[in-house]
Amino acid sequence: MILHWRRATPEQKLERMFGMARLVNDLARSELRQRFPQASERDVTLRLASRVHDRETMIRVFGWDPDVQGR
């Protein structure tokens, strides 16, 4: 595996990293959909964003309070 990674071009490495990021994002969205089955796609996106951004940013930028809406 390490040898395979070392032989990869920078472009291949970058694409793999983006692929892993998409996978993590998809898994997190799936978990949120299971926890909140009635949530709209926007709510799922906001709940995901609230895992990265602090409460004040979520309120200021999105008008969405994670303490009220839930994470």
The pLDDT of residue 44? 95
Cα–Cα nearest to 62, from 41, 38, 37, 45 = 45
The pLDDT of residue 40? 94
- Confidence band (pLDDT; 50, 70, 90) for 70? confident
Structural contact between residues 44 and 36, judged by C-beta atoms closer than 8 angstroms: yes
Domains: count for the chain = 1
pTM over 0.85: no
Query: 36: domain range?
Result: 2-69
Percent pLDDT > 70 in the chain is 99
Query: What's the distance, Cα to Cα, between the start and end of the chain in Å?
Result: 36
Run of H or E residues at 30: helix 10-35
C-alpha distance from residue 17 to each of 6, 11, 24, 32 (Å):
14, 10, 11, 23
